[in-house]
Structure formats: C-alpha cells, structure tokens
C-alpha cells in the first residue's frame, strides 16, 4: 500500500514542502530511501523501525520504499523521523491517513528508540510555510511547540510519543495545542534582562557620542585606544540604546536562531536586537556560516543587531575579509556542492583594537616599546578596504585620575535611547531606510550641500585622501547627526562627521580612512 504524509525541509531560513511517500510491498525486508537524503536520514530507518517495535506495533516484514519528494531538493536532519514512521505504519498496516496527513498538518520530529518525539531545529520556518500554504498547523515535539505557536492563525499540536501522533492521524484521539509564549525583551546571550547602562561609563564623551550616532543611523564603529581605556565597556553598551526590532525584523532574527538551534525553550519572537561577540580565535566558518550541515554564522546571528569584534587585529585575516561583502549587501551566500544557501546578515559592526602590539602607542603615561615596523605590521593585519567600511573611527584615550575617581555619573542609556528613537522615526518618515544604508542617489536627494559644507568636504578629500566610500559615509553620518538635532544638514554636521573619518594623529596611532 502507498501512504503519503507532509513534512518540510529547511533551506536557509525558509522551509519547503516535502511529501513523504512510503510504499510497502511483499518481498524481502529491505528499506530504501530516495530523494537526495543525507546520511542522517539514511540512518533513520533503523531508528524508526526500533521505535515502532518498542511502541508495541505489530509490524510485518515487507519491502519498504521511502521517497522524499521533490527528489531534486536536498534533505538533511532527523526531522523526517516522525512522518516516515507514520507513513510506514499507514502503508504496512494499510490504514488510510486521510486529509489530516495530506492537507491539514505538517509533521516534524525526531524519534528516540522508545518512540518519544524530540525537538529539531527550524520549526519556526516550518510553521510559516504551513501558514503560507493555508494549512491548519504543525505537529511537533513539546520542546519547540511554543516556538511554532508564535505564528498567528496556526495550530501547534504537541505530540509526546509516536503512539499519540498515530492516534491523532487516524482521528482516534486529539493532540493538545501549544499556546504562544509571553514575549520578553530579554537580550540574547545575557542572563540579565537589562543590558549594561551608559551611566556606568566615566568620561569618554567622544566615545559616547560615537555610540549614539552609530545607533541612530546604523553606522559601523571602530574604537582605538590603549588597554583599559574603556573600548570594550563602551561597545557592550551599544545594544542598550538600540530600538526594538520591528515585526519583520523580529521574525527574521527568530527564524535565524530557530534554524541555528539557539532559540531559548518556550521563547516567543526575539524583540531585542541581538549582540554577538565571537572570540578572535573563531574560524571563517564560525563567522560566515557553513559546515557539514550548513548553519548560519555570527554574521547572520547578529542580523538587525550588533556584531562586536574585540581585539580586531587578532582575528585571522581571511576571517575578517569575509565581512566585506555582507557589510555591503546585507546577506551572505554559502555555496556547496549540494546547493546554495543564503542568509540575511544586515548588522551593525562594532570593533575595538589597540594602536600597537603592546597597546601603549599614544598613551601619555607610559612609553611604547614597539618599533615603527612592528606598529605598521600590527595595523596592516586589518585591511584598508575593511577599515574604509568603518564609518566612525574613534580614539579612546586613557582616563585622567580626576575622571576615573570622580563620582559624577554619565547620561543613562534610557535618555540616549530616546534621542535614537526620535532620529530613527525621522528616517522612517523619509522612506524607512536607515541613514547608514542609503545609496548615492538617496544621499544626493537628502543631503543638499551649502557652499560652506562643500568647502569643508573638498578640503578634507584633498588633505586626507578620502575615498569615494569615505565621502558617502561622511554624508550619511552628517545626516544622522542632523536627525539627532532634528535640524537640516549644516556645515557643523559635516565637520563633526569628518572628524570621525580623520581622527588619526601620529601620536595616537588610530587608522585613517
């Protein structure tokens, strides 16, 4: 008998419908799986047979053929265990599946040898595909049912065991429906619901101003300074002044974390901008994504949030070069022999670095022990094209004793965040694109230059040898500064933007655009 049941395969952050076809015929007890299955799916036959027997089903020996259609779509993972097991039972026991299997639900889950249903990655894209096709819902494991339930208008049915799923398939019993979880604003990767506050930062007025501009216009940011000056402390407070994610952004980020298997149990849509801070020993695959079973890397997990690279020159040169294309395009494409996967990667890049190997170049208190060739080699670990993509390049000086020991607290993140939100609203009213993502045509329309501004830019380009990319980024920053002040772009905004591109002083050792 031939049985059919519906499931889905996840490609990138999207799910594609897969029809699991199972045919049971007289003959030697052999099982074949067709339709471009990977090793994990080919291994599932033994796991499924054992689960069926341990659940108490009388399963006669037959020749079983399993086809996962469409045949040209690569399939991977253990999520097909549940639909394959149900298809086997329906085909061998000659039980009709009916519309519950074929029209109403997608079935996804891994089976243990005892027949329990376990969670798999990527249930949120599967639920979105079910809704797109007008289906009633998905049947999945209890561990991910709440994740699927966040999709409005969709049923997330919870199957604890194979027996429960089989009874529901035949219409003999009902499965409980999961409720959508209460969404929280908890920051990813942090135990505390409140990110670090800017009020904890003493001094560093220019660094704080740079954070505000970066958050308001989505501008990439580089802090340069001696060890202990506060570069990392500043960067880690950037998420606290970012606006919450829109519904579309939250859905994209949640799908990425679902596919990566990083969604917290029982969590709803991720509403807070993610903050990712990989160690400098991270490999290119960890940063860009990929691996034997392709998964999103840090570039994608930081989507619509912050990717923070501390000790920037300590990263492998090849690893850093993977940032260049995603910074321009907002996505990354991973090509493999079995196909290509594209992940969104629209992130704000924040980085920190010392000015030299010992870190004391430009420190007025202590002398630098590095020779000029050592300083040059250290700075050259970060390519010029990558530095050119850093909108704000800010020197973070060592705090004076008065600032360090003073009791005066800085402006809290809440106050800065309000200004950032107002600036973002102005950008939304102009078309919904943040200033840091504007192209040249949009810049020309939105940043009319008066004679004084033109003179400033002309002098800066001639004196500092700014590139065309640096010129565009100066205009974008000037527009953001004007948005923060809720005023038209003036020469003062241009001048402030220029100083973030030409901050380098020979004494400080910061890079020039």
Q: Give ∠ CA 146-151-152 in degrees, rounded to 5.
A: 120
pLDDT for the residue 340 = 85
Distances from the Cα of 193 to the Cα of 190, 413, 414, angstroms? 7, 14, 14
- Would residue 395 count as lying in a domain? yes
| Strand ranges (E), 320-454 | 331-336, 339-344, 348-353, 392-395
pTM value surpassing 0.75: yes
Instruction: Tell me which residue of 118, 119, 177, 125 sits closest to 151, measured CA to CA.
Output: 125
Weakest mean pLDDT among 65-74, 238-247, 497-506: 497-506
Indicate the average pLDDT of the chain.
88
- Evaluate whether 437 touches 479 at the Cβ level (below 8 Å): no
Claim to verify: residue 231 and residue 353 sit in the same structural domain: yes
Number of domains in the chain: 2
Claim to verify: residue 215 and residue 86 sit in the same structural domain: no
Claim to verify: residue 103 and residue 223 sit in the same structural domain: no
- Would residue 64 count as lying in a domain? yes
- As a whole number of Å, the end-to-end CA separation of the chain is 69
DSSP string, 195-253: PPPGGG--S-HHHHHHHHHHHHHT--EEEE--TTSSHHHHHTTSGGGSPPPPHHHHHHH
pLDDT for the residue 344 = 95
- Would residue 464 count as lying in a domain? yes
Give the 3-state secondary structure of residue 320.
helix
Claim to verify: residue 261 and residue 223 sit in the same structural domain: yes
Claim to verify: residue 28 and residue 155 sit in the same structural domain: yes
Claim to verify: residue 333 and residue 399 sit in the same structural domain: yes
- Would residue 31 count as lying in a domain? yes
Which segments of 281-346 does DSSP mark as H helices, in order? 284-288, 298-301, 317-321, 324-329
Claim to verify: residue 254 and residue 315 sit in the same structural domain: yes
Q: How confident is the model at residue 62 (pLDDT cuts 50, 70, 90)?
A: confident
Claim to verify: residue 148 and residue 291 sit in the same structural domain: no
DSSP string, 20-75: EEEEEESSSS-EEEESSB-HHHHHHHHHHHHHHHHTT------EEEEEEESTTS-B
Q: Is the pLDDT score of 371 beyond 70?
A: yes
pLDDT for the residue 137 = 94
Claim to verify: residue 165 and residue 209 sit in the same structural domain: no
- Would residue 193 count as lying in a domain? no
pLDDT for the residue 405 = 73
Claim to verify: residue 142 and residue 214 sit in the same structural domain: no
- Would residue 428 count as lying in a domain? yes
Last residue of some domain: 152, 169, 186? Answer: 169
Claim to verify: residue 93 and residue 31 sit in the same structural domain: yes
- Would residue 187 count as lying in a domain? no
Dihedral over alpha carbons 247, 253, 256, 260 (to 10 degrees): -130
Instruction: Tell me which residue of 291, 294, 289, 292 sits closest to 322, measured CA to CA.
Output: 289
Last residue of some domain: 149, 169, 189? Answer: 169
Q: Is the pLDDT score of 444 beyond 90?
A: no
Q: What is the extent of the structural domain holding 100? A: 2-169
Domain CATH for 353:
3.40.50.300
- Would residue 179 count as lying in a domain? no
Claim to verify: residue 157 and residue 219 sit in the same structural domain: no
pLDDT for the residue 182 = 67
Beta bridge partners of 16: 9
pLDDT for the residue 183 = 59
Domain CATH for 160:
3.30.230.10
């Amino acid at each position: 008998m031939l049985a059919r049941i519906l499931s889905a395969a996840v490609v990138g952050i999207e799910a594609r419908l897969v029809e699991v076809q199972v045919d049971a015929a007289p003959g030697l007890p052999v099982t074949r799986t067709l339709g471009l299955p990977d090793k994990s799916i080919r291994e599932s036959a033994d796991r499924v047979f054992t689960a069926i027997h341990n659940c108490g089903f009388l399963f006669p020996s037959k020749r079983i053929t399993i086809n996962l259609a469409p045949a040209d779509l690569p399939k991977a993972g253990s999520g097909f265990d549940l639909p394959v097991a149900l298809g086997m039972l329906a085909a061998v026991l000659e039980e009709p599946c009916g519309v519950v299997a074929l029209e109403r639900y997608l079935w996804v889950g891994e089976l243990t040898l005892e027949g329990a249903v376990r969670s798999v990655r990527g249930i949120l894209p599967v639920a979105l595909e079910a809704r797109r096709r007008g289906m009633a819902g998905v049947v999945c494991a209890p561990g991910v049912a709440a994740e699927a339930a966040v999709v409005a208008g969709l049923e997330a049915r919870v199957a604890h065991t194979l027996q429960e799923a089989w009874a529901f398939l035949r219409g003999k019993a009902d499965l409980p429906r999961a409720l959508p979880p209460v969404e929280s604003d908890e920051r990813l990767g942090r135990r505390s619901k409140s990110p670090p506050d800017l009020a904890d930062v003493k001094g560093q007025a220019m660094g704080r101003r740079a954070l505000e501009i970066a958050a308001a216009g989505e501008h990439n940011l580089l802090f340069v300074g001696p060890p202990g000056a506060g570069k990392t402390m500043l960067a880690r407070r950037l998420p606290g002044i970012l606006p919450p994610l829109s519904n579309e952004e939250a859905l994209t980020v949640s799908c990425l974390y679902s596919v990566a298997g990083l969604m917290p149990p029982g969590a709803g849509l991720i509403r807070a901008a993610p903050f990712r801070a990989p160690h400098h020993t991270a490999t290119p695959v960890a940063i860009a994504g990929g691996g034997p079973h392709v998964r999103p890397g840090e570039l994608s997990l930081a989507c619509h949030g912050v990717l923070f690279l501390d000790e920037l020159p300590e990263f492998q040169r090849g690893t850093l070069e993977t940032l260049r294309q995603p910074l321009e395009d907002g996505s990354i494409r991973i090509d493999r022999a079995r196909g290509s996967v594209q992940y969104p990667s629209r992130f704000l890049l924040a980085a920190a670095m010392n000015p030299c190997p010992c870190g004391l170049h430009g420190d007025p208190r202590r002398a630098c022990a590095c020779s000029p060739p050592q300083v040059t080699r250290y700075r050259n670990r970060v390519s010029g094209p990558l530095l050119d993509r850093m909108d704000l390049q800010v020197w973070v000086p060592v705090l004076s004793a008065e600032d360090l020991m003073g009791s005066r607290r800085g402006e809290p993140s809440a106050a800065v965040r309000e200004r950032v939100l107002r600036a973002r609203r102005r950008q939304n009213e102009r078309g919904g694109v943040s200033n840091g993502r504007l192209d040249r045509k949009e810049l020309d329309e939105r940043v009319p230059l008066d004679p004084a501004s033109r003179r400033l830019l002309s002098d800066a380009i001639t004196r500092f040898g700014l590139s065309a990319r640096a010129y565009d980024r100066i205009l974008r920053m000037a527009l953001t500064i004007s948005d923060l002040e809720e005023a038209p772009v003036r020469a003062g905004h241009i001048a402030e933007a220029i100083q973030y591109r030409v901050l380098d002083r020979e004494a400080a050792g910061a890079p020039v655009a």
